[in-house]
Structure 1
Amino acid sequence: MTDRTSPISMNRRRFLGSTAATAGTAALFSAIGASFPAGVFAQGAGPETPTAQLGFIALTDAAPLFVAKEKGMFDKFGMTDVTVTKQSSWGATRDNLVLGSAGSGIDGGHILTPMPYLIASGAMTQNNQPTPMYILARLNLGGQCISVGKEYADLALSLDTAPFRTALEAKKATGAEVKAAMTFPGGTHDLWIRYWLAAGGIDPNTDIATIVVPPAQMVANMKVGTMDCFCVCEPWNEQLKNQGIGYTALTTSELWMNHPEKAFAMRADYVDANPRSALALTMAIQEAQMWCEDTANKEEMAEICARRQWINAPFADVVDRMKGNFDYGNGKLVENSPHQMRYWADNASYPYKSHDLWFLTEDQRWGYLPADFDKAAIIDRVNREDLWREAAKELGVAAADIPATTSRGVETFFDGKSFDPENPDAYLESQSIKALS
């Protein structure tokens, strides 16, 4: 049994209480569209059920779900009764996944990559009851940002948080609180902002309070001074800048180039009962990702994302960064940024097991998972890259565009640290700031 005074228990209690597209890609998309008439699989039977209840959070990395729905890609593969429903927070997403569609919840959808593991293990569920989950695809690489309030404009913050540390210490000396906002404990945004802070000597467990704020509420909370910095996807960083409330310090691919981000995940019982339906959903998502990657579609994609039923944000807050053009709001301007979100290029869709291993290792680092957590076993249960491969082959994706192995190899971060999937313990040992003792 976990010690209730340990970082693991404390984090659990705190959470539960707060609860460049190429011509080749375009050609492939065109060829796929010509090869698959509506509702037909190549050389196989159609889905067991045409129905699925999917959830999403109002973020631009959910665009493949929006596009698959708007462009009829779910219908095309026989999934003619797919509902895509906005969730109010990642905590609500978790709760609705635990309920499942039989309990008026959801079967799957857009999710922070670590969440299926935190749900499947029971680490972040009520009463620590596990709900088996599968990851069927990655939805994107990169595309998140860390933003700070305008009170820190003179610091022109970027990768180096040492000046931020000094400013925070001065603010705390006046008796004021300092807070960093993320969207779900142990999720991607939590891990990015913790990595950034810790790399500059700011301990996110002791030097600043980390708080949970739903993505769509980030800007309003920064406006009233709830937090000093936050990490979230677009369009909320751009909106913060456009409203003159703060600025973008960095995009998260500056921390880790082309890092994995969101996933397309489903309850395991849905997939086990309806394997062809799960395959059809994955194929629709993959095709939508190809469409999203195509530069020619970016403006239309921004218009789709901005619609009321999806993100419900001004088009101007969505379009520029979706097209790869970043005005950080601090004088830094980058056009066609190498750090823009990827939906299909660079194997963005394939769910590397090595990436899931990094997330679980980081969740151990910060006390969300115990030190003896069996990472390899749960990855083999949750990560269904085999189904991704099957879907890609059905879709006609070239063998050269399907990764040969489940590991992307050694990953290197902006501060010189590296993560070798063959030796995750060495990575943990290299980190001087961590909750894990």
Structure 2
Amino acid sequence: MSMFRNPFSPSRLNRSGCACGQHASLEEHNRFAAEAVDTPAASSDDQISQIVQSAVMRALFPHDESRRLFLKTVGASTALAAISQFFPLATASDVFAQGGPLEKKDLKVGFIPITCATPIIMAHPMGFYEKQGLNVEVVKTAGWAVIRDKTINKEYDAAHMLSPMPLALTVGAGSNPIPYTMPAVENINGQAITLAVKHKDKRDPKSWKGFKFAVPFDYSMHNYLLRYYLAEHGIDPDADVQIRSVPPPEMVANLRADNIDGFLAPDPVNQRAVYDGVGFIHILSKEIWDGHPCCAFAASREFVTTMPNTYKALLKSIIEATAFAQKHENRKQIAEAIAPANYLNQPVTVVEQVLTGTFADGLGAIRKVPDRIAFDPFPWESFAVWILTQMKRWGQIKGDVDYASIARQVFLATETSAVMKEAGLTPPASSTKGFSVMGKPFDPSKPAEYVASFAIRRG
């Protein structure tokens, strides 16, 4: 829970994360906070004012029942008018909106050298961190397990993660449960299935039985999209093929050495395979699910709650970089900034082909797909619900799953909306939406039914 929802100092947080110490959970605290001034949850424009009003009302009436009785007797408007005579609510709101001093200026943020990390990487050479008063060292990291471990061990303050990773960490899939947050999607689309050139005559997935595929990590959109694509073509991803985790920087070498037949990978891995003449792009991930999330900016809930001002500054840096990256006229400039050895270590032309969407596919064609990769930071809770359904489908999580609650805890849509507005972006009015994957509609309000609808599944 961040400073946007919590008007109390981090030192007052109890073990459940409730600021006032009177409620069993963050959700219960937030519900009472919205009721504190007898109003519905604030719109983004009035959010700061209502947070301050809630804090003042709680200070005067610390017990829920007495506060409710007072508000019911005199009415919220009369109560706030009276309080305003001796407490400057407007001034307090202005002060709160400005935020306090940064708790920590020198930060380490880990990243994997792929174009999915574009906002996190480019914010360093292009001055977005410096603009917010931060001295951020972006640290190139070998693989996702290392990213996870270094973040858990606090060697990194925050990190570029695969969008399923904060969910997996929070529910304890593959590790002990640790509350994590994902306030911003780094990129949407930006992946592809690439096959070795020797398989140019095997474009029908039904002919792929016995293939060996690589994905970056077990808890990745790449794994889930590959499994989804295979299963929709009647291929059991656990029985008919092999899927192994390979760090993205090692994928092309493994394809060249004939250790794998193909991969569903982030870019620029796919384009580098084409550039090196060892692979061809079979299908872009946007052709499986247009607008899907890929990577994310993530941080532990502990970092968010103990360093709220630093967290907000870091998030604002990344969202402003994301807004810059979304404009196609900036893509070539960004490619030059992030291609060097200390970042992606790729030829500029490879990075440009990915970011501009004009690229060779390895089959002799030049394709133009402007949104091959796109940048939209909003963390749709329905994205999280879909990811959780795939974890459930493939047996990564067991038992009953409270999909909506976990999605709200990890994908911080409210906080991101506020920062997006400050960055000149327009966040959506809702935190959920429906979408289709390979033509199959997904209703985020019916996740259990969605899981049960698949003929090939483990959970």
CA positional deviation for 1:256: 0.6
Larger relative contact order, structure 1 or 2 (CA cutoff 8 Å, min sep 6): 1
1:146 paired with 2:226, answer no
SS of the residue 1:247 aligns to = strand
CA deviations over 1:65-89 (Å, ceiling 9, x no partner): 122111211111122x212111100
Count residues in correspondence. 365
Instruction: Tell me which amino acid in the other structure corresponds to 2:435.
Output: E
CA positional deviation for 1:328: 1.4
Distance in 1 (CA, whole Å) between partners of 2:342 and 2:185 is: 23
Q: In structure 2, what is the equivalent of residue 340 of structure 1?
A: 372
Q: In structure 1, what is the equivalent of residue 206 of structure 2?
A: 165
Instruction: Tell me which amino acid in the other structure corresponds to 2:115.
Output: T
* Contact kept? 2:151, 2:159, Cα under 8 Å: no
CA deviations over 1:173-232 (Å, ceiling 9, x no partner): xxxxx3111011121111111111111111101000110100000000001111111011
Q: In structure 1, what is the equivalent of residue 145 of structure 2?
A: 91
Q: In structure 1, what is the equivalent of residue 158 of structure 2?
A: 108
Counterpart pick for 1:284 among 317, 327, 331: 317
1:427 paired with 2:455, answer no
CA positional deviation for 1:145: 0.8
Q: TM-score, normalised by structure 1?
A: 0.80
- The 5 Å alignment of 1:202-281 reads 202-281=235-314
* Contact kept? 2:162, 2:219, Cα under 8 Å: no
1:56 paired with 2:122, answer no
1:133 paired with 2:180, answer yes
CA positional deviation for 1:321: 2.0
Distance in 2 (CA, whole Å) between partners of 1:218 and 1:137 is: 27
Counterpart pick for 1:328 among 353, 361, 372: 361
Distance in 2 (CA, whole Å) between partners of 1:122 and 1:424 is: 20
1:410 paired with 2:434, answer yes
Distance in 1 (CA, whole Å) between partners of 2:118 and 2:340 is: 11
CA positional deviation for 1:92: 0.6
Counterpart pick for 2:377 among 331, 342, 349: 349
CA positional deviation for 1:297: 1.5
CA positional deviation for 1:137: 0.8
66-75 vs 326-335, which moves further:
326-335
Alignment gaps of 5+ in structure 2: 1-94
Q: In structure 2, what is the equivalent of residue 378 of structure 1?
A: 406
Distance in 1 (CA, whole Å) between partners of 2:437 and 2:247 is: 27
SS of the residue 1:185 aligns to = coil
Alignment gaps of 5+ in structure 1: 1-39, 158-162, 173-177
CA positional deviation for 1:338: 4.8
Percent identity of equivalent pairs: 32
CA positional deviation for 1:316: 2.2
Distance in 2 (CA, whole Å) between partners of 1:141 and 1:207 is: 29
- The 5 Å alignment of 1:358-377 reads 358-377=386-405
- The 5 Å alignment of 1:171-190 reads 172=210, 178-190=211-223
Distance in 1 (CA, whole Å) between partners of 2:248 and 2:269 is: 7
- Runs of 4+ in structure 1 displaced over 4 angstroms? none
SS of the residue 1:124 aligns to = coil
SS of the residue 1:69 aligns to = coil
* Contact kept? 2:356, 2:370, Cα under 8 Å: no
SS of the residue 1:64 aligns to = helix
Q: In structure 1, what is the equivalent of residue 84 of structure 2?
A: none
Distance in 2 (CA, whole Å) between partners of 1:371 and 1:432 is: 19
Q: In structure 2, what is the equivalent of residue 25 of structure 1?
A: none
CA deviations over 1:83-131 (Å, ceiling 9, x no partner): 211110011111111111xxxx212121100101111222122xxx222
Q: TM-score, normalised by structure 2?
A: 0.76
Distance in 2 (CA, whole Å) between partners of 1:421 and 1:363 is: 15
Distance in 1 (CA, whole Å) between partners of 2:123 and 2:371 is: 24
Distance in 2 (CA, whole Å) between partners of 1:90 and 1:429 is: 30
Distance in 1 (CA, whole Å) between partners of 2:129 and 2:317 is: 5
Which one has the largest radius of gyration? 2
Q: In structure 1, what is the equivalent of residue 59 of structure 2?
A: none
* Contact kept? 1:142, 1:342, Cα under 8 Å: yes
Q: For the aligned residues, what is the CA RMSD?
A: 1.8
* Contact kept? 1:322, 1:341, Cα under 8 Å: yes
CA positional deviation for 1:362: 0.7
Q: In structure 2, what is the equivalent of residue 387 of structure 1?
A: 415
* Contact kept? 2:99, 2:309, Cα under 8 Å: no
CA positional deviation for 1:293: 1.6
CA deviations over 1:255-299 (Å, ceiling 9, x no partner): 011111111111111111111111111111111011112222211
